[in-house]
């Protein structure tokens, strides 16, 4: 699901609990392969491919929770439709990790397990702050 040539096994690509693939990365990094859709969580250069930007200050939470959850839902739907989806922030760890953890919850993982899951499958320091961890625990399918 969500797999296209060269996407599986690429740096930053995680397999969500239901099988969809999503890539996490830093906004400024030049990825080896383009995505079909990017969810951008920080200011910075926009990719040439379709994208959506969510206002999410560094080390904090999304400015508009409903917009963030809608954007995450769109990213998940696109991943299951076979698109290469990525999530990116300035450092590629805190906000990106929080969004990937939230995607895992939206995909069926218990919210209580999401932070440990994203740290194991994406980055050991993902979801950097206590308030980001609390935010993930409040995400519901």
Q: Among 41-50, 80-89, 102-111, which stretch is predicted with the lowest mean pLDDT?
A: 41-50
In DSSP terms, which residues pair with 87 in a beta bridge? Answer: 24, 39
Output the average pLDDT for the chain.
92
Q: Is the pLDDT of residue 110 over 80?
A: yes
Query: What pLDDT is recorded for position 6?
Result: 58
Compare 127 and 11 and report the one with higher pLDDT: 127
**30 vs 62, which has greater pLDDT?**
62
Domain spanning 13-137: CATH 3.40.50.2300: no
Residues 88-102: pLDDT tens digits? 999 999 999 999 999
Three-state SS annotation for 74-122: HHHHHHHCCCCEEEEECCCCHHHHHHHHHHHHHCCCCHHHHHHHHHHHC
More confident of the two residues 13 and 32: 13
> What is residue 66's predicted lDDT score, i.e. its pLDDT?
97
pTM across the whole model: 0.94
Top pLDDT among 73 and 4 is at 73
For residue 71, the surrounding DSSP H or E stretch is: helix 65-80
């Amino acid at each position: 699901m969500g797999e296209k040539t060269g996407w599986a096994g690429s740096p930053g690509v995680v397999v969500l609990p239901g099988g969809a693939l999503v890539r996490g990365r830093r906004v400024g990094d030049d990825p080896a392969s383009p995505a079909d859709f990017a969810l951008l969580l920080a200011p910075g250069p926009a990719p040439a491919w379709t994208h959506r930007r969510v206002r999410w200050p560094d080390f904090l939470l999304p400015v508009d929770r409903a917009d963030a959850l809608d954007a995450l839902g769109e990213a998940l739907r696109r991943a299951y439709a076979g698109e290469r989806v990525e999530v990116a922030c300035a450092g590629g760890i805190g906000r990106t990790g929080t969004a990937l953890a939230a995607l895992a919850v939206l995909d069926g993982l218990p919210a209580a397990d999401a932070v440990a899951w994203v740290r194991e499958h994406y980055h050991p320091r993902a979801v950097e702050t206590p308030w980001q961890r609390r935010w993930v625990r409040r995400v519901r399918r």
